[in-house]
Structure formats: structure tokens, C-alpha cells
Chain A
Amino acid sequence: MKGIIDYGVYLPYYRLKRETIFRAMGWFNPATAGMAKGEKTIANYDEDSLTMAVAAGIDCLTNMKRERIDALHLASTTLPYKERGNASIAGAALNLSPHTRTADFTGCLKSGTTALISALTALEGETTLVCVSDSRLGKAGGAQEQLFGDGGAAVAVGNEGVIARLMGHYSVSYDFPDQRRMDGDRYVRGWEERWIRDAGYFKMIPDAIQGVLNQCGLGINDLAKVVYAPLGMKDHMAMAKRLGLKSQQIQPALMDSVGNTGSAHPLLMLIGALETSRPGDKILAVSFGSGSDALLFEVTDEITAFQSKNKLNTNLEYKGELENYTQYLSFKGMLPKELGIRGEEVAPTSLSLYWREQNAVLRLVGARCKACGTPQFPKDPVCINPECDALDQMEDYPFSDKTGMLFTYTADHLAYSEDPPALYGIVDFEGGGRYWFDITDCRLESLKVGKPVQMTFRRRYLDQGRSVAGYFWKAMPFKG
């Protein structure tokens, strides 16, 4: 039977303390005082659910060869495009073959687990990469604003090198209208929280769990870890009591450090459980949203090779505080700012050019000269090495998975940036190749000549007037 063969995590760099939100909005909604603990993850201004899903996928691909992947499942309720395959953009950014089968899963918060079940039950022998992310918005001052976090998780599924074998899965599906958004809605709308908890959360998750346990002939005490989606700040613990879980069976919900990352959250927690599991452990993963999916896994001996990477903790530890609530509002497009006339200029995007140059723009694929071996970006007919000068000797060469060092850099206060000053520099890639890139996810003080960097797929601009998100790659400090 199929199982999980690899995983990756992506949490964005910025954290917003809930106390910061409460200080700004508590005057309006004093009832959120009880939630004002811990912090949540905030996607940078140049990130969206697509880039975060790609980042999680890249984290997954540090262990496995992308050539193994037959299909890509992208799941999120906050994908940028309604029409234009988000998974096709992600597949290119992950530098997967164009012959990869891609699919978008969306519409409810169990879309992540549904994408995972679809992968696990797909054709025998197929390897599927499941990338899940969310960055949902609650209105200013509401409980959802406190609860929601941004992030992504990726799980690769296949037959060989299984680290957690699928034992069974069980789903329930209801039109439970606890949370909803229609076309054009930016913010999540809900119904009374007590009703959501009592009539939905406390019923559907136990139903799905019971379903899969019955199917496998197991009881709750046979499980090493139980992963289930959080709801409010305290509901996760209340559920544990209802399920009769011992404290060591409860997989932490990450609400005080991440917040609820929507579709991605059950997978994020599942990865947390895998990273501390032992061979033979049975782990249950359960989602909540328009019903519930429950997946039961048994951890294999292969797990030990993966745990040294400590991917979840690496992501939890790489962070910077977003000190201003207004900066958070701005990143989320909730604050009309005075951009200045320079900032208002948005040049049109040529989509035919974008398509022609997709290898460079989406995949960060340049070239290596077959005559002299010099990697170079972008791909030109004539070799950049003046000693070589060969014509038409170029073969594709990917840079997205290469690390590099910062050759030089600056912090530019004149260039328009959503997070000024604009940081950029020149990167020397390990193995050869040099190019200049924007730099993200750090502060000027942390930059120095020679600093190790890695590449990250980002949204360079958002042209809402023309419905174009312009994606490209930036450099960021090496995260490990």
C-alpha cells in the first residue's frame, strides 16, 4: 500500500504577536482579550498561497529527486487564480516536468487532506507531490484575525521508501456552513462560534475518527499521536477530553506559534507528529471543513533518516517580528497607503513574453555551456565566459535549488517597495553562475558580503487592474 515518502514545511518569516493585534483593535472588540497570547505567522508582502505551497514543495524536494514525481496536487482555499491553473504555475516553479499531471483542490478546509487521500488512492506506482497552503483573512478586530496564520506543508506520496504507510481513511461530508466566502469575498464570514464548535467540530471530527478506527479494527488507545485541526484557542484541548486522549497522544496544534493555517494545518501537524514519531507508531490525521477526512498512518523504519532535518522546528525558529499592526494590514492589502507617484506606476505584463521566457521566469532555469561548463543566467546563445565565447552550446541548468553567497548588496530607499527599503544584491552561486536578485525575508542589519543565501519563489508584483500576479525568484538568507 502507498504511504508518505517525504515531507516539507514552509512557514513565512514574519510573526505578529496577538498582543499587537489586541493593542490596535482591542478598543473595538474587547472580547478578543482572551486570545491575545502567543503569535501567528504572516506571509510577507511578496508571498501568497501559491508561493508558500511552492516553498513547502521545495523543502520536500531537498530529500527526493523531482524526476520521480508523476502528479502534483495543490490544495488551498486562497489560491490567487480562479481561472489559470494554480497547480500549473506551482509545477513550473517546482521545476517539475510539463508531463506532470496537476490538479487544484479547493473550496473547503479539508481540501488538503482530500488532496492527500486522492494521492494515496491514485494509481499504484505513481508518486504524487501534495502541496497545501493557506493565507486566509479575517476582518480587523475579529476573532478570526487572531486565529488565522499563514503557511504551507507538502507531502510526497508513493510506494517506495515509505516512511508512514496508509492504513485506512474515512471521510464525512456535510454542507455545514460554518465559514464561507463567495467569489469576490476577501474575508471569511462565519456563524456563531459556539454553534460551530458544538454542532460541527465536536461531532464531525469524532465521527470521522470512529469511522477509520472501525475500518482498521483499532481503538483510540492504539494511536501514538492524534492530529486534528484546531478551531478556537481552547477547543483543541476540549476535543482531546472528548476523544479521551492521553496528553502524550495529543499533537500540539501550533496555535500559539503559527495560528490556524487552514487547509494546510492538518498536514503541518502531521509532519510535526512524524518528526517525533518512532517506527511502528500509529498516527491519525483529521481535518475539519464541510465535513472531515481522517487518515491513519503507521510509521516505518525509514522515518529515522528524515527526523534529523527537523523541518518544522527550523521553520518555527526562522522568524522576525512584525512590530506594527498597520504593517500587517498593509501586507494584507487592507490599508490604502500613499504610494507616491513612483509607487503607482505599474507597467503592463506581456503574457506572450512571459510564456516564451517561462523557463527563466518561473523555473529559474538558466544554462550551462557544454563547451566550458560555465553556469549562467539567463540563457543566451553566446557563452558569458569571455575565454570561451561558444555559440549555441547551452544546456538547461536550474538555479532554484542552488545555494550561493552574497557578492554585494544594498538597501534602497528610493525604489518603491511594499516593505522599504528594497533589499537587493548580486549572488554568486555555488558551482558557478552570478546574477542580481531582490532579497527578502531578512533585515538590512543581517546582510553582509559573503552571507550564504538560497533562492525563494515570490510574487514580485500584483497588477490587480490587469489580473496578473508577476512571479519570480528572490534571494533570502540560507535557512537550512
Chain B
Amino acid sequence: MAEGIRNKVAIIGMGCTRFGEHWDRSAESLAAEAFEEAIGDAGIDKKDIHAAWLSTCFDEGNVGKSAIPLAAALKLPYIPVTRVENLCASGTDAVRGACYAVASGACDVALAVGVEKLKDIGYGGLPDFSQLRGIYNRQIFPNQTAPGQFAMLANKYFNRYGLSREEGKRTIAKISAKSHANGAMNPKAHLRREVDVDTIMNAPMIADPLGLFDCCGVTEGAAAAIVVRADRARDFRPDPLYVKALQIAVSPEEEFRFQQWDGTHVETTYRCGQRAYQEAGIKAPREELSMMEVHDCFSITELVTYEDLQISPRGQAKQDIDEGFFDLNGKIPCQSDGGLKSFGHPIGASGIRMIYEVYNQLQGKCGDRQIKDPRLGLTHNLGGFPANCVIGMTIWGNEL
């Protein structure tokens, strides 16, 4: 394996807007707010930035294509700006662009901004998927939505591990309840309230067996990160975050086109995780990680991610969930900020928002929801469906 970028890049500033339905805000104003917080946090000026990356997903109802909207919104002075779109993993990919640019020596200070406006389409849920994968797939893909695709994962998982519908739903409901409890303590969260397991289990059905509270919010917001060379990070602040791993993995779609995938896990997460642990030098993730922010677009996604990231053994995440392993006071708190579930999911911003939580936790700035003495935090960002997706993962530490 290549050397990777472990310990070569550091974050020195981050920003994140409140997440929610911003009927009165434009994408540009959200991006500008996250950006202002980030440069203020880093203590730098706009002119110090050498290159920028913008992540957005649904461009049609949002800012449109290209990186111009970011350059125009922030009035960036003719620097290189690149737009990245990799479905819901776009945010992590923007950070990757910025980190790789710094690691390569092409620039010293780079910016990643993720933003999404989703509520200008006139209906609930994500914008219609029919053209997302091009005009050919529109002819041959089923009439599907994201909840439905992850519901298929849940049905297969329940079937394989012998969980009754009731047992299965209760298990994943505990995941949502945990995230809502954490999010209730987060002033920037979209759905900032506690929800009990029975309410979650009895909520209206979205895609069988997933109910309303098994699904994350459809949210607007922006997040930003400023990265520099690791060896100069302490010139900017005493407590930068050092990159330990930054990996992207993309499915070749053999999952739903070849009879090998078992349908009860996300292969791309597993592959990405293996590479991230190797880059970070992590041998026993269950013992070494302090916290995780995973892509809990749906409760079942978080469950299989515990297994795909080799925290829980295959088929045994239920035991860890039942024992509170991922709770705020558990061994590896997961979604201490509420996750996509409660913090919300402005697509292009989510990957950066996850890093924002790791950043704040590792700097000890999370108040009521502060995890005790975290040292190593992981983010896992999934774009697409279980059977064909983009996974972006990062691991960060507060020591070189």
C-alpha cells in the first residue's frame, strides 16, 4: 500500500451552520456563514487560502453546476476552486481534495465547503431519483427511493439473522433513540428532541420495515474546513486535528448484479474501512477508536456499519446496541452530535459536519455531550445505496 497522508495534513479551523429547513436562507448565505466561522476559528484571512473545494449533490434545485457559486458567494480572489459531487459522500471528497492538495505541496492552506439546499423542490424527501443516474438507468432502475433501498438491507438482515420484524425494528429503533438523545443536546441540530423507542417503532411507515424515525432529516446547511500542512499546524493553533486516514471506496455494482453479495452488509464500507485502518495504523478498531460519526441515513445503515467497520462481529451488532456500547457514555460513542438522524443531512455538507463533531470533541468543546478524553475519531460517509455506493472515511487524532 502507498504511504498515504497520515500525519501530513491538519485541520486548523472549522465552521458549521445550524442545520434545518432554512426557508429564508440561500445556499450562498449558508456557505458564507460556515466559511466565516471556519476562518475565524483558524485565525486566518481569506487571502491566505490557496485553493478551495465545494461539495454539493443535487445541483438542479440548488446552486447549479461548477465551483463558480462558491467563488462568487465568498468572493474568492481567482484561486483554484473545484466542485466535487459524489452523492451523499461529496463532503468527504471535498475534504480529500483539500488534504491531497496540501499533502502534495501544491498549496499550503486549502478550504473545503459543503452546502446543500433541498427544500426548494416543493415536496418532502430527497428530490426525485429518476434521473440521478442518467437517462438510461431511468429506463431500467426500479421506482426507488433511498429509504426503500435501505429497507431492502433491513429485510435481508432480519431474515438472515433470524430477527422477527418486531425484534429487528426494536433493535434499530434503539439506534435512532440514542442519536435523538444526543442531538437534543446539540444547539445546531435540526431535529433537536428526544424520541422514545415505542414512538419510533409505531411511526408511519416510509419503506417497509423503516418508519419515519428510522430515516434521517431532509436538511439544509453548510460546513467548512481549513487544512494546512501538519508540520505548520501549531503555528495557527495549539490543538489542531491531524489526519490519520482519508479513504474513498466506490462500488463496482457487483453487489446487485452478481450473485455473491449477501445483502446484509455494505461491502464498500468494509473495503474502505480496511484501507482506512491500514493507513491509520489501527489494528483493533474496537479497542483503539474513541468515537465515531457514521452515515446513519437510516437506522439500519448505522447497524450494519458497526459490523462493516469491524467494531461489532457480523450479526452481533444487536448485542452491542442492547448493551449501550455506542451510547454517549459507552465504549465508542457513535453520533455524539445526533448524526444525520438528529443533526440532519444537508447532503453536500454532511461529510464535513461529521468531521466538525470529531474536531470539537477532540478539542474538548462539546459541553453537555462531551466524550471523556477522546483521542481518535472516525467519520464514515455513504453516498448511494447499500448495493452501489461511494464511501468516504476519515480518521483524525489530536496528536502527531
Contacts from A to B (Cβ < 8 Å): 340-342, 345, 347, 349-350, 353-354, 357, 360-361, 374, 376-378, 384-386, 407-417, 421-422, 424-426, 428, 432-438, 444, 448-449, 460, 470, 472
Contacts and interface: CB of A to CB of B under 8 A. Distances in A.
A82 B142 CA distance: 28
Contacts of A438: 142-143
Given A345-B128, A413-B205, A414-B148, A361 B139 contact: yes
8 residue pairs, one from A and one from B, having the closest CB atoms:
A412-B148, A410-B151, A424-B142, A408-B156, A341-B122, A411-B208, A408-B152, A449-B159
A416 B142 CA distance: 12
Contact of B257 (A411, A425, A435): A435
Contacts of B141: 436
B338 to A, nearest CB: 22
Contact of A377 (B139, B147, B257): B257
Contacts of A347: 128, 130-131, 135, 138
A414 B145 contact: yes
Nearest to B138: A347
Nearest to A426: B256
Given A426-B263, A436-B141, A472-B139, A385 B258 contact: yes
A425 B263 CA distance: 11
Contacts of B123: 340-342
B16 interface: no
Contact of A384 (B131, B151, B205, B254): B254
A239 B172 CA distance: 65
B74 interface: no
Interface residues of B, number: 42
Contact of A354 (B139, B144, B252, B258): B139
Main SS at interface, chain B: loop
Contacts of B152: 408-410, 425-426
A460 B152 CA distance: 21
B23 interface: no
A412 B145 contact: yes
B208 A357 contact: no
23 contacts: A349-B135, A354-B139, A374-B258, A376-B258, A384-B253, A384-B257, A407-B263, A408-B155, A408-B159, A410-B149, A411-B207, A412-B143, A412-B144, A412-B148, A413-B208, A424-B143, A424-B144, A426-B256, A434-B258, A434-B259, A436-B141, A438-B143, A472-B139
B23 to A, nearest CB: 16
Contacts of B257: 376-377, 384, 433-435
Given A408-B155, A408-B156, A350 B135 contact: yes
Contact of B139 (A357, A385, A415, A444): A357
Interface of B: 121-125, 128, 130-131, 135-136, 138-145, 147-149, 151-153, 155-156, 159, 204-208, 252-254, 256-260, 263, 387
Contacts of B258: 374, 376, 384-386, 434
B207 A357 contact: no
A384 B135 CA distance: 21
Contact of B206 (A349, A354, A414, A448): A414
Contact of A426 (B131, B138, B387): B387
A378 B253 CA distance: 11
Contacts of A341: 121-123
Most buried by B among A347, A354, A407, A417: A407
Contacts of A374: 258
Contacts, number: 137
Contacts of A421: 205, 207-208
A86 to B, nearest CB: 19
A433 B207 CA distance: 26
B256 A413 contact: no
Given A410-B148, A411-B207, A472-B139, A434 B256 contact: yes
Contact of B136 (A353, A424, A433): A353
A414 B147 contact: yes
Nearest to A428: B259
B155 A449 contact: yes
B143 A386 contact: no
Given A410-B148, A411-B205, 5 more contacts: A354-B139, A410-B152, A410-B208, A421-B207, A433-B259
B274 to A, nearest CB: 16
Given A361-B139, A407-B263, A412 B207 contact: yes
B158 to A, nearest CB: 9
Nearest to B158: A449
Nearest to A385: B258
A405 to B, nearest CB: 10
B249 to A, nearest CB: 14
B208 A386 contact: no
Contacts of A360: 139-140
A447 to B, nearest CB: 9
A436 B205 CA distance: 22
Contacts of A413: 204-208
Nearest to B388: A436
Most buried by B among A377, A384, A417: A384
Contact of A412 (B122, B151, B260): B151
A391 to B, nearest CB: 14
A103 to B, nearest CB: 27
Given A345-B128, A361-B139, A410-B208, A386 B148 contact: no
Given A414-B148, A449-B159, A408 B139 contact: no
A360 B256 CA distance: 16
Contacts of B205: 411, 413, 421
A374 B257 CA distance: 10
B155 to A, nearest CB: 5
A307 B191 CA distance: 63
B29 to A, nearest CB: 25
